[in-house]
A and B are shown apart, each in its own frame.
Chain A
Amino acid sequence: MRSASGKIWIQYVTGICLVLAVAFACYSFRGVLEYKLTALLLLVTVSVLASIFRILPVLAASVLSALILNFFFIAPFRTFHISTAEDLLLFAMYFVIAPVNAVFTYKIRKTEKKAREKEEKEKTIRLYNTLLNSLSHELKTPISTIIGAADTLRENRAALTPGQTDELFGEIQQAGFRLSKQVANLLNMSRLESGFLELKKDWCEISELVHTVINRLSEEASAHTIHYQEQQDLPLFKIDMVLVEQAVSNIIANALQYTPAGSVITVFATHQENNCVITISDNGPGFPEDKLELVFEKFYRLPDSGTGGTGLGLSIAKGFIESHNGRIVLKNKSGGGAEFTLEIPAETSYINNLKHE
């Protein structure tokens, strides 16, 4: 309830004004409107106030409404005197029901708020647990590998064949790379979360950026084909190269990890209405339609996605593109496979032909 946090005097004024307005309307129609009905209308007004305002302004409004009811609507008019026993009973009931109603409504609201807060807290705890689970798994596996391999190398040195020794060294190295990648992911995430991500924009040749990413991923991509459809005569774009490179890299790495061996990943870059647009598609199984939004949430991983990965790559990509005021659109292609479209608003420069300088 946003009014609940507003300034308290505004609530007093609004409450009193609303009661006065309803009373005035009823007074204008007092020829057709019976005073019992007026009592009901005022009661409804107070209830409405109780459902949005704090308790004291509502009580003030309810007392005011009772006085107005007595003074203007219950005969004899314009006195606080009440002549018949029935009217006295009505007034007494009104005087009790209005504040009690206000208090109850307020209390229900408070309980609801508490329940909501509790639910949110639980959600945070769940998220935190998911984080810890996937993180500790992702970190512990390479750490165990390093410790185990080093132990074996030290203690069984004499018994190991040169081939086994080599293999163990290789395992230690791989584990190190994996740890390094996870730590980089976490650092990127915390950079995003801290809100201190400062863009360092510079002129960038997009095809150089794409080729850099493809070259860097060549080892992971040994079982896949990455195809870059290069468009000639693209302008230079002014972007933060390091961040965009990371975003493109994370999306391609995601495709490499979750599409079957032999899949083809296609990258295409173009210039559209002040946007640098990079499309990354694959011919893998695509994403479940109802999970298209969820996959960008941090630590979210598709239910059957197996081990490896913290669920951070795509959310980092999204964060980095959004920090450029851009967006990532994910859809499944009609012919199968996923398609990520990165739209990055960017200044452009067409200084292509300096060739004769």
Chain B
Amino acid sequence: MNKPEILIIDDEPQIRKLLEIALESSGYKVWQAASGKEGILMAANHPPELILLDLGLPDKGGQEILKELRLWYNRAIIILSVQNSEEDIVLALDNGATDYLSKPFRTGELLARIRSAMRRNQGEDQNTVITCGDLQIDLVARTVKKQAEIIRLTTTEYNLVAFFARNEGKVLTHRLLLKEIWGIGSQEETQYLRVFVAQLRKKIENDPHRPEHIITESGVGYRFN
């Protein structure tokens, strides 16, 4: 079987080496680029399944490379950023990044994000019933079951959970959620989001204070597992 190919664009040789070992030992084929320019060329000559892109590249800003790649490359791009840069992360997600990881990150986390992003590469999930842990979301019957028991949800709560489920494992920015569920363009109205997420957690989480399904990504958005 062909190994899935991953392109790493990062100027730090140590990080590239580390990623290379971690990824190759997990069954991926790894290509490396030390600069944005080189990375774009390599991706164009031989499009990989997924690109790991460092946001802090010296030659061109990571955001620029991301935009350039997104003109023609439609598979997963996971960006690597540093701590305290929520703003950059949100911008990168708006610019088309699939997901992000803040350095320093754990290898397990990296592999989980890659698997989740690769799954989404296979195209939109055609399943009409999505299972996430003990939750079962039926997009045709518009029902949500927890351990086979139907949970009563309002329309907005259902829309929210359905949108979350269709983007399982992916980080969703506040702006995107507001636009999708309420059609609100501004980022100012997040209080709706807060209230509905809190309500939804009470209904679908085992312990709403230790959420396992709707995870808060501080300063960025939510992730549904």
Give residues in A with beta carbon < 8 Å to B.
176, 180, 184, 187-188, 191, 200, 202-205, 207-208, 211-212, 215, 236, 241-242, 245, 349, 351-352, 354-357
A187 in contact with B83 given A204-B194, A236-B194, A355-B199 (CB within 8 Å): yes
Residues of B within 8 A of A351 (CB): 191-192, 195
Cβ-neighbour of A242 out of B174, B198, B219 (below 8 A): B219
Pick from B190, B192, B199: contact of A202, CB under 8 Å = B190
Q: A202-B190, A203-B190 are in contact. Are A208 and B195 (CB under 8 A)?
A: no
| CB-nearest residue of chain B to A352 | B195
- Measured CB to CB, the closest approach of chain B to A222, in angstroms, equals 16
Chain A residues whose CB sits within 8 angstroms of the CB of B218 once the complex forms: 212, 241-242, 245
11 interchain pairs, CB-CB under 8 A: A187-B83, A187-B84, A200-B87, A203-B193, A205-B194, A211-B210, A242-B84, A351-B192, A352-B195, A355-B154, A357-B156
Of residues 164 through 197 on chain B, the ones whose CB sits less than 8 Å from some CB of chain A are 174, 187, 190-196
Chain A residues with Cβ under 8 A from B84's Cβ?
A: 184, 187-188, 191, 242
- B193-225 interface code vs A (CB 8 A; 1 in, 0 out): 111101100000000011000001011000000
Question: Chain B 55-94 against A: per-residue CB contact (8 Å), 1 yes, 0 no?
Answer: 0000000000000000000000000000110110000000
* From A203, A208, A212, A357, contact of B155 by CB (8 A): A357
CA distance A185 to B209 in the complex (A): 27
- Say whether B133 faces chain A, with CB atoms less than 8 Å apart: no
With the chains together, A191 CA to B85 CA distance in Å? 12
B83 touches A203 (CB 8 A): no
Instruction: Name which of A180, A241, A242, A357 has the most chain B CB atoms within 10 A of its CB.
Output: A357
What separation, in Å, do the CA atoms of A208 and B209 have in the docked complex?
7
B196 x A354 contact (CB < 8 A) = yes
Which 7 A-B pairs have CB atoms at the shortest separation, nearest pair first? A203-B191, A211-B209, A242-B219, A349-B191, A357-B156, A203-B190, A236-B191
Which residues of A lie under 8 Å from residue B199 when comparing CB positions? 354-355
B195 in complex: contacting residue of A188, A202, A211, A236, CB < 8 Å: A236
Known: A187-B84, A208-B216, A241-B219. A203 touches B154 (CB 8 A): no
How far is the CB of A274 from the nearest CB of chain B, in Å?
Answer: 17
Is B123 in the interface zone, CB < 8 Å from A?
A: no
Q: A211-B209, A212-B216, A242-B86 are in contact. Are A354 and B195 (CB under 8 A)?
A: yes
Q: Which residue of A lies closest to B199 (CB)?
A: A355
Q: Nearest Cβ distance between residue A36 and chain B, in whole angstroms?
A: 73
In the bound complex, CA of A241 to CA of B104 (Å): 21
B78 to chain A, nearest CB (A): 20
B203 to chain A, nearest CB (A): 11
Chain B: minimal CB distance from A324 (Å): 15
Are B219 and A200 in touch, CB under 8 angstroms?
yes
* Inter-subunit contact A354/B210 (CB<8 Å): no
Q: What 1/0 mask marks residues of chain B from 140 to 172 whose CB sits below 8 Å from any chain A CB?
A: 000000000000001110000000000000000
Residue of B154, B191, B192, B210 with most chain A CB atoms under a 10 A cut-off: B191
Residues on the B chain within 8 Å of A191, using CB: 84
Question: Closest chain B residue to A214 by CB distance?
Answer: B209
Q: Which residue of chain B has the shortest Cβ distance to A203 in the bound complex? A: B191
Report if A356-B154 is in contact (Cβ < 8 Å); known contacts: A187-B84, A200-B86, A211-B209: yes
CB neighbours (8 Å) of A241 from chain B are: 218-219
Point out the residue from B87, B156, B196, B210 that lies within 8 Å of A215, measured CB to CB.
B210
| Residue of B with least CB distance to A212 | B216
> In the complex the two chains form, what is the Cα distance from A5 to B69 in whole Å?
58
